[in-house]
Amino acid sequence: MKARTKSTLKKFAEEQKTRTCSRLAAEKCGKDGPVGTACCSRIKADPRVVGGFRVLGALDDFGRERLSKHYFMRDFLYSEISQVHGIPNVPEDADLAVKAGKALCRNLLEPLRHVFGHVTIRSAFRSASVNGFCNCHNMNCSSNKASYANHIWDHRDGDGFMGATACIVIPWFADWMNEKQGRDWRVLAWFIHNHLPYSEMVFFIEHAAVNLTWRGDPDDAAQDGDVLEFDGSRGSISWRSEPRRYVKSFQEPKGLLIKNGELKGHAPNDHYDDCLRDLCSDRPALSDYLKVLQAAKTEEDERFGRLV
pLDDT score recorded for residue 291: 93
Confidence of residue 234 (pLDDT cuts 50, 70, 90): confident
The domain locations on the chain are 66-307
Helix axis angle for 186-195 and 171-178, nearest 10°, is 140
For residues 238 and 254, what is the distance between their CA atoms, to the nearest angstrom? 33
Question: Are 197 and 249 a contacting pair, CB within 8 Å?
Answer: no
pLDDT score recorded for residue 36: 45
What are the tens digits of pLDDT across the range 46-68?
555 555 567 888 999 999 999 99
- Measured over all CA atoms, what is the biggest interatomic distance in the chain, rounded to whole angstroms? 64
pLDDT score recorded for residue 301: 84
pTM: 0.83
Listed in sequence order, the residues at least 6 apart from 39 whose beta carbon sits closer than 8 Å to its beta carbon are: 20, 21, 22, 23, 29, 30, 31, 133, 136, 137
For residues 207 and 217, what is the distance between their CA atoms, to the nearest angstrom? 32
What are the tens digits of pLDDT across the range 187-213?
999 999 999 999 999 999 999 999 999
For residues 102 and 94, what is the distance between their CA atoms, to the nearest angstrom? 12
